[in-house]
Amino acid sequence: MQTRTLGSGKLEVSALGLGCMGMSVSYGPPSDRQAMISLIRAAVERGVTFFDTAEVYGPFVNEELVGEALEPVRKQVVIATKFGFRLHADGRPGHAGVDSRPGHIREAVAGSLKRLRVETIDLLYQHRVDPEVPIEDVAGAVQDLIREGKVKHFGLSEAGVATIRRAHAVQPVTALQNEYSLWTRGPEGEVLGVMEELGIGFVPYSPLGRGFLTGKMNENTTFESTDFRNQLPRFSPEARKSNQVLVDLLAATGARKGATPAQVALAWLLAQRPWIVPIPGTTKLARLEENIGAATLEFSAEELREIDEAAAKVTVAGDRYPESLEKMTGR
C-alpha cells in the first residue's frame, strides 16, 4: 500500500489505517478476541501500518487487543492511542467526563504503554478537549513525555482551531483526528485550512459514516441494544431513509468505476489532500480487503467535481451526535 506523511513531524503511515474501536465496544457485543487478533495481523500482511485505539475503548480492553495483535510486528507499525477521559471507578464502559490534568495524562500513558506492550507510543492524542485545563498545560505534559521517550508524536481529536493553534505553539501537533466523510463535512471550513497552514496531518474517523455509507443498511436496519448508533439522531429510521440519496450517489459513482460505495467514499477522502489518512474500522476480513481496495481507486478532477456537485445538493438529515456529546467537540 502507498504511504502518506502526517504532519511536519514526518510520521509515515499507510494511506489507510485501521480503526480498532468497534472490535471491542460501541457497535454491539465485542467480537471474538482471537478473530480480531487475526484480523489485525491480516491488515499488516496487506500493507496497513497505522492502527488506532484508545484507553477509553472498553475501557482498556481494546488497547490490550491491539497490543497483543501487534507485538510480533511492532517495528513495522504505527500505533495511535488517546487519553483524556475520567473513567468509572468500577471499570464499566463509558466515561465520567473529561480529565486532561498533567498528572492524569502521565497515569494514562503509563497504563497504555503496558497494555500496548510498547516502550513508546507513536502517536498520542488528547481524546477530547478539557475546558478546565489550559491546552498549553496539556501540550507541555505531552512534550515532557516526548522528551522522556515515552511518546513520539502529539495529536488532538475534535479540537477547534483556536485550541489547535495554542497547542501547536507549545508542542507541534502531528495529527488532528476529527470525523470527516461525505456526510460530515464540517472540517472543510476552517479546520483543513489550518492543517495546511501549520503542517498538521488529518485523520478522519468514521470515514464510512459508521457503516451507513457502505450501503449495507437502510431505514429498516435494526441495531443491537448496546449499539452506540441507537443514540445518534442521524441513525433514526427517518434520517436513514432521507440520507439514502447519498448512498445512491456513491453507488452510482461506484458502478461507473467498478467500485463499491465504501471504496468511493474512502477514495474521495484520499483525494481531498495528500496528508489525509482515513481510519475505517471493521470486524470482517472481506470488508478490510474492500476498504484497502480504495487506496488504488483514483478520480479525475472532473469526476471529483461531479461528486461534489451532486453531494452539495444533498441535505443530510439528523445531527451526528446528541447534544450532550456534540458539545464536547470543536472546542
Per-residue pLDDT for 17 more than 90?
A: yes
The pLDDT tens digits for 162-183 are: 999 999 999 999 999 999 999 9
**Which residues have C-beta within 8 Å of that of residue 231, sequence separation ≥ 6?**
322
Mean pLDDT over 9-37 rounds to 96
Mean pLDDT over 261-275 rounds to 98
Per-residue pLDDT for 215 more than 80?
A: yes
Q: Is the pTM of this model over 0.95?
A: yes
Per-residue pLDDT for 80 more than 80?
A: yes
Give the C-alpha distances (Å, rounded to integers) separating 245 from 208, 248, 252.
15, 5, 10
pLDDT at 92: 82
- Residues of 93-129 as b/e, b for ≥16 C-beta within 10 angstroms? eebeebbbbeebbbebbebbbebbbbebbbbbbbbbb
Locate the domains of the chain by residue range.
3-326
Average pLDDT, the chain: 97
Mean pLDDT over 102-106 rounds to 98
pLDDT at 93: 81
* Least-confidence region, from 65-69, 93-97, 187-191, 238-242: 93-97
Burial of 274 (0-12, 13-18, 19+ CB in 10 A): exposed
pLDDT at 101: 98
pLDDT at 9: 80
Confidence of residue 91 (pLDDT cuts 50, 70, 90): confident
The pLDDT tens digits for 25-67 are: 999 999 999 999 999 999 999 999 999 999 999 999 999 999 9
Distance from C-alpha of 143 to C-alpha of 121, rounded to nearest angstrom = 13
Per-residue pLDDT for 96 more than 80?
A: no
Q: Report the catalytic residues.
A: 57
Distance from C-alpha of 318 to C-alpha of 316, rounded to nearest angstrom = 7
Distance from C-alpha of 200 to C-alpha of 156, rounded to nearest angstrom = 10
AA identity, residue 171: Q
- Percent of all residues in the chain with a pLDDT value above 70, rounded to a whole number: 100
Q: Give CATH for domain 3-326.
A: 3.20.20.100
